[in-house]
Amino acid sequence: MRNYLPKKKHGFTGFSLPPRSLHAHGLHERGFTLIELLVSVAIIGLLASVSLASFSNAQMKTRDAKRKDDLKKISAALYLYYQDNNKLYPFPAGGTDMVSNNPANNPWITGLNAQYIINLPHDSLEKSTDNSCTASATNHVYCYRVDNTHTAFILWAQLENPNDQELYSSSTYTKAVCNPTSISYMGFQNVSLRNAPNSAYNYCVLSPT
């Protein structure tokens, strides 16, 4: 056995200590095992997926909220037009529909100029070009449909959230105001135009009664 006796160095007497063992002091260091690394990667991936899904869901709800607000703004502007034009709403030549992505119309609702609304809204996901509401399935365009008496209208939009409490369904009429038999539709004389133009439209705003 080695003796660790005091040593004198430069006039100082001290003791030299034996080498310290990492094992003896619980300081043994090791790398991650492959399983630990895989588990860590899996957890990080799961957290990233949950965060991305939550973010996408929040964006979808924000877009839907804007669509609802847009239709309310358009409805208010239409009512101002109605008051200035012998209580008649804008009427497209040769039809009953106007859509927001029709390049032939600017503004896309004829007559609804800056006097009534500065910028006539468009859906943020709007695509393609159409000239009638029935041709706009899944294209995310707004639809303005007026009665043939020019005294009532319906505005349509396409919401993304399938769980929205204000969705319109042609089979269940989950939203009473969008029910074609609702008293709210009594001013809309053209019965054939009361239903949604196609299955893609699931939210509507009616002209003031």
100-117 pLDDT tens trace: 987 777 889 999 999 999
Residue 184 has pLDDT above 60, yes or no: no
Asked if the structure places residue 55 within a domain, the reply is: no
Residue 167 has pLDDT above 90, yes or no: no
Query: pLDDT: is 100 or 184 the higher one?
Result: 100
Contacts of 113 (CB under 8 A, 6+ apart): 107
Q: In the prediction, which pLDDT does 69 show? A: 95
Asked if the structure places residue 72 within a domain, the reply is: yes
Contacts of 165 (CB under 8 A, 6+ apart): none
Q: What is the DSSP letter of 184?
A: G
Number of domains in the chain: 1
What are the counts of helices (DSSP H) followed by strands (DSSP E) for the chain? 1, 6
- Residue 201 in tokens: 């439209």
For residues 171 and 15, give the distance between their C-alpha atoms in angstroms, rounded to a whole number.
93
Q: In the prediction, which pLDDT does 174 show? A: 45
* 64 close to 160: Cβ distance less than 8 angstroms: yes
Q: pTM for the whole thing?
A: 0.69
Enumerate long-range contacts of 19-24, CB under 8 Å, 24 or more apart.
Answer: none
* 150 close to 86: Cβ distance less than 8 angstroms: no
Asked if the structure places residue 35 within a domain, the reply is: no
Asked if the structure places residue 110 within a domain, the reply is: yes
Asked if the structure places residue 7 within a domain, the reply is: no
Structural domain including 69 reads 62-206
Q: In the prediction, which pLDDT does 34 show? A: 79
Asked if the structure places residue 133 within a domain, the reply is: yes
Asked if the structure places residue 189 within a domain, the reply is: yes
Residue 153 has pLDDT above 70, yes or no: yes
Band (42; pLDDT cuts 50, 70, 90): confident
The fraction of the chain above a pLDDT of 90, given in percent, is: 25
What is the mean predicted confidence (pLDDT) over 146-161? Answer: 88
Asked if the structure places residue 143 within a domain, the reply is: yes
Secondary structure of residue 134 in the 3-state scheme: helix
